[in-house]
Amino acid sequence: MPKAFRWSVRIAALVQLCTAVLAFQNSQSGAVQIQPRVHAAEAAKRDTPEPLLRVDSSLVLIPVHVTSYFGATVTDLKKDDFAIFQDGIQQTITHFAKDDAPVSVGVLLDISGSMKYKMAKASQAAAEIFQFAGPGDEFFLVEFNARPKVTIPFTPDWGEVAAKIGGAKPSGLTAMLDAIHLGIGQMKHARNARKVLIILSDGGDNFSRRTMRQLRAALIEADVQVYAMGIFDTTQQGKISREERGGPDLLGEVALDSGGRDFPIGREGDLSEIGVQIARQMRNQYILGYSPDPLAVDGKYHQVNLKLTSHSSDLRTYYRRGYYAPVQ
């Protein structure tokens, strides 16, 4: 085909296309808008209110776990059994539900030298918790000694995480607070509304660059609850370092600041019972919601207190103690 003829065909086709486009535009009464396609799972996630302490609009949602004095989960309470106070002013509870949804879990595994003789216990502890893993759950693993590292990103396969824990080789110093910061950052990629970090450690931090004060601020801002399984060797009390001796207090402080709980493990016989308790606490929670009166959009921290109105003082409540308001 002659070259000049080929060019004439192309030009004619281009003119015909432009004519068709102009005719289409003239037939429309308004401008054409192309909307990006939203993945179905992402859209569903946006439409579902997250059961976390957060204020994206005028509604504050708080997850609350209630136990008996001996640690048994309490699941038969009603809305009228709770009273919520913000900055000392009682609020009207407008949202009440019981939550048993899929969970996004980050496991923070201490592989420092102080864990050398405790790794078997740590591996068994993890196995006891996640025998209750359900459909929709996802997991990631952060290993830490002098430096934390995400060794397994989010996966629905708990077996992959368990195998990695079972093969860990302890050595070096301990940067636990840095590992928690890394875990909080990893949770930004979570698919589920319920987000939990589980620490398997003796709590003996001696190398973190971040401080407890910095971590407390990060926990307040993050919608993540922390549960700690303190792996301790009670037979070696005279041989452990000062950091290890302070480990139980540090783990307890971190967990309670997030609305979670610390479970010290001294004997292997405790593992099964504690694993059941953590699994229940991750899943069985009340979700309480209220619209703050007065509504604050000042970007400041607001304290939240919760009371049980008609039950024995033997019951224990675990929840986040405050939030930062949005800025108008």
* Averaged pLDDT for residues 7-14: 44
For the chain, how many helices (H) and strands (E)? 9, 14
The reported pLDDT for the residue numbered 145 is: 96
234 falls in which pLDDT band (50, 70, 90)? Answer: low
Determine if the peptide bond prior to 49 is cis (ω within 30°). no
Lowest mean pLDDT, pick from 31-35, 261-265, 320-324: 31-35
Q: How far apart are CA 276 and CA 136, in angstroms?
A: 19
Report yes or no: 146 and 234 within 8 Å, Cβ to Cβ.
no
pLDDT digits (tens, 9 = 90+) for 200-223: 998 889 999 999 888 888 887 888
The reported pLDDT for the residue numbered 242 is: 74
The reported pLDDT for the residue numbered 140 is: 98
- The distance from CA 274 to its chain's CA centroid, rounded to whole angstroms, is 20
Report yes or no: 228 and 251 within 8 Å, Cβ to Cβ.
yes
**Structural domain boundaries of the chain?**
1-31, 51-99+285-324, 103-283
Q: Provide the token pair at 151.
A: 């060794």
CATH topology of domain 103-283: Rossmann fold (3.40.50)
Q: How far apart are CA 244 and CA 202, in angstroms?
A: 6
Contacts of 328 (CB under 8 A, 6+ apart): 297, 298
Distances (CA, A) of 242 to 214, 237, 247, 253: 22, 10, 9, 17
pLDDT digits (tens, 9 = 90+) for 137-185: 999 999 999 999 999 999 999 999 999 999 999 999 999 999 999 999 9
* Averaged pLDDT for residues 304-324: 86
The reported pLDDT for the residue numbered 112 is: 95
pLDDT of 53 over the 90 cut: no
28 falls in which pLDDT band (50, 70, 90)? Answer: very low
